A and B are shown apart, each in its own frame.
Chain A
Amino acid sequence: MTEGVDTIDPNEPLLRVSDLTVEFPTDDGVVHAVRDLSFELKPREVLGVVGESGSGKSVSSMAILGLLPKSARVSGSISYRGQELNGLSYNEMRKFRGNSMSMIFQDPMTSLNPVFTVGAQLTEAYLEHHKVSKKAAWAKAVEALEQVGIPQPDRRAKQYPHEFSGGMRQRVVIAMAIINDPDVIIADEPTTALDVTVQAQILETLLRIRDETNAAIIMITHDLGVVAGMVDKVQVMYAGTVVEAGSVDDVFDAPHMPYTVGLLGSNPDPSMIGQRLTPITGAPPSLVNLPSGCAFSPRCPLVAPVCHESEPPLFEVGGTVAHLTRCHRWNDLVGYDDPKKLFARKEIGAEEPIAALMIDNPEAVVVEHLADSADSTRGDEKEAAS
């Protein structure tokens, strides 16, 4: 496809991120959006990044592309083929953005400009990095549309985004991301806004494009199913940092971090029908006031005193690709037969049986006189309680 591909050593990482930290100073304090994130990405590799909202998935990818607002404090190193990207100005980043690394955004409805034709937007993206005639760029745009599986690409290129369906619009966004043959494609929840049958088409398209162009893909998603199907390596993020990483088989088969266990356990599993799901108690921590020690400790069923004292480093626990976990007690976790049971709890919220709290006969309390109604409520409750 491109002259660059042949010169890459397939074992040499394209992208090396080390100790990436992103902070946003706000009136309420400093938001620690990303903390000490490190990873490597090789050509053709698909890296899955999973985590809940607010775990730093999107901010880290924006930092890599230099798309964060000026107020963000970015430290650490982002090295693309040996070139340091952190610290480059917005304009210096332009020659990398779209050309070497590109991004597919979540919402295809808002990532295209409604007043230009699809072809014009693709042409613009191509001309930004190539000195060719407009006509040649248009031909390239049509080619890119064909590559992502849009039927009648020459006719469709003259249409506006509103004339495309959601799935087709996401294909256009993908076409725009690949038109300059980037080495790294960052896909930020590319199928979240789409239906499952369309999602299947889009994921297939992405993997086919990876095969055709040898690009590496960073797949950001909250859908564990999407990760299971298409990635090689996976990173689980929590409170701005990686809490577990490894090959997708290692992480899904033998999670070594209670949060991963909880995340896998809260997904409804057909074999669990008739049983309660096992949610993780509590809510993710505020990124302004992180808990002392391990960020997951307030919600962790395995929590021990050491977890409150210090944030665990990433321990290496073996595996084909280095399987890493940020847990002091991963050794104990391995000892459990069915670690998902750790999250099982009896009560959901109500301390008493719910039926006792409900009134038996709501009609009885709708009376004109306030005093009567108050009495009858109490009467009902005595009955219900007895």
Chain B
Amino acid sequence: MSTGTETRPASGDAGTTGTPLLQVNDLFKSFPVRGGGIIPRTIGQVQAVHGVSFDLAAGETLGLVGESGSGKSTTGRAILQLHKPTSGSVRFEGKELTTMHPRELQGMRRDMQIVFQDPYASLDPRWQVNDIIAEPLRIHRFGSPDAVQQRINQLMEIVGLNPEHRNRYAHEFSGGQRQRIGIARALALNPKFVVLDEPVSALDVSVQAGVVNLLEELQQELNLAYLFVAHDLSVVRHISHRVAVMYLGSLVEVGPRELIYSKPMHPYTQALLSAVPVPDPKRERERQRNRIVLTGDVPSPVNPPSGCRFRTRCWKAQDICATEAPELRKRGDSELLSACHFAEEMPVA
């Protein structure tokens, strides 16, 4: 994938000056597949992330969407160095993270945080909320016990929890409240960048809306940059400034939210959007008639198809798709960057 300025998914205009907050360049991450036997040997590589590049500006939200197994979460974790990338570069405020000394990296973690998907698994059931939120503050030696306590109370108020409940355990809270605790923990050190890894997908719709509102409010007040990883396209549409669509480890389309949702160029984006059911009976019946139903399943990331990775399910596929992997670049007159030889605008109802 080229790294020239032409083809790089540049960050949007959400208040950028100079270098973007986060620059991800040609990121690769593969996991070894080990065979059975007494001495397990590596018999293959799962190419979870395959040449991903994008920029993110301060105060901006990039929505990262794709189906399960497309490498969304791995991308988020590889950026934070929770998974060591196989190759490629991740620069945060101009500093290269992939080669950074672990001690220096620990200091950087103050600015880069993550909120996990499952609010039931990501909080220690034997810790009081107080301790859960205090942990990052203790690790980074925030200050005196009084200062820590004050900060915890503030954080709980910020995320809409009653500070009087700080001595409760995680199980005493509902799903939405637990996710708020996870958000408070991520915000404890005033980060600049937060990876939100499916933060609302485990929540009921009525609760989900409250957490989405909170995230938006926090972003505006604190100028946070979000990488919003999700499979729910309507939530991503609501919260993101730009959207990146991922398929089998690679970005297939990146661009401003409105364009992605109204005039997608890549066949996969078109199919994905057309598959989402909308809660409006008349429109939904109309959409069902025009629905693009993809055949088959996502191929295995151990043996991805040659050339374009989407070609096995694509109705536009031709010979060139098997031999040449399409670059992620502008196609036609569209502002979108699309990785398809036959990218073509198609309005989605």
Contacts and interface: CB of A to CB of B under 8 A. Distances in A.
B279 A227 contact: yes
A268 B233 CA distance: 10
B168 interface: no
Contacts, number: 184
A264 B280 CA distance: 9
A107 interface: no
Interface string B149-193: 011001001111100000000000010100010000000011000
B208 interface: yes
Contact of B231 (A195, A200, A269, A377): A195
B141 to A, nearest CB: 6
Nearest to B233: A196
B147 A373 contact: yes
A370 B143 contact: yes
A283 B272 CA distance: 32
B262 to A, nearest CB: 9
B17 interface: no
Contacts of A166: 68, 297
Contacts of B159: 349
Contacts of B144: 370-371, 373-374, 377
Contact of B214 (A199, A269, A348): A348
Contacts of B157: 349-352, 357
A192 to B, nearest CB: 10
Given A268-B235, A277-B213, A350-B157, A228 B281 contact: yes
Contacts of A357: 154, 157-158
B306 interface: no
Contacts of B160: 348-350
Interface stretch (A38-46, A90-98, A360-368): A360-368
A29 interface: no
B67 A266 contact: no
A168 B209 contact: no
B104 interface: no
Interface in A245-290: 248-249, 252-253, 262-270, 272-273, 276-281, 283
B190 A229 contact: no
B272 A197 contact: yes
B209 A374 contact: no
B213 A229 contact: no
Interface string A133-163: 0000000000000000000000000000000
Interface in A203-251: 203-204, 222-229, 248-249
A13 interface: no
Interface residues of A, number: 66
Interface string B280-314: 11111101100101110110000000000000000
Interface in B98-130: 110
Interface string A8-28: 000000000000000000000
Contact of A225 (B140, B190, B209, B277): B277
B209 A362 contact: no
B279 A252 contact: yes
B33 interface: no
Contacts of A279: 206-210, 213
A165 interface: yes
A203 to B, nearest CB: 8
Q: Choose among A168, A367, A373 the residue with the greatest number of B CB atoms under 10 Å from its CB.
A: A373
B216 interface: yes
Interface of A is mostly: helix
Given A200-B275, A374-B146, A229 B285 contact: yes
A197 B218 CA distance: 32
B212 A268 contact: yes
A352 to B, nearest CB: 8
A81 to B, nearest CB: 30
A236 to B, nearest CB: 12
Given A196-B67, A197-B294, A357-B158, A224 B279 contact: yes
Interface string A345-386: 000111111110111001001110011011011000000000
Nearest to A168: B297
A331 interface: no
B209 A229 contact: no
Contacts of B285: 229
Nearest to B262: A270
A122 B160 CA distance: 51
A292 interface: no
B140 A201 contact: no
A150 to B, nearest CB: 11
Contacts of B216: 276
Contacts of B222: 354-355, 358
A52 interface: yes
Contacts of B271: 197
Contacts of B233: 196
Contact of A252 (B176, B206, B281): B281
24 contacts: A52-B206, A197-B67, A197-B272, A197-B294, A198-B67, A224-B205, A225-B277, A225-B284, A229-B284, A249-B281, A266-B206, A266-B209, A267-B209, A268-B238, A272-B238, A277-B212, A283-B174, A283-B176, A348-B213, A350-B217, A357-B154, A358-B158, A362-B142, A366-B141
Given A228-B279, A373-B143, A377-B150, 10 more contacts: A225-B278, A228-B280, A263-B206, A277-B212, A349-B158, A355-B221, A357-B157, A362-B142, A370-B144, A377-B144
Name the 3 nearest CB pairs between A and B, nearest first: A349-B160, A225-B277, A224-B279
Interface of A: 52-53, 165-168, 195-201, 203-204, 222-229, 248-249, 252-253, 262-270, 272-273, 276-281, 283, 348-355, 357-359, 362, 365-367, 370-371, 373-374, 376-377
Interface of B: 67-68, 110, 140-144, 146-147, 150-151, 154, 157-161, 174, 176, 180, 189-190, 204-210, 212-214, 216-218, 221-222, 231, 233-235, 237-238, 257, 261, 271-272, 275-285, 287-288, 291, 293-295, 297-298
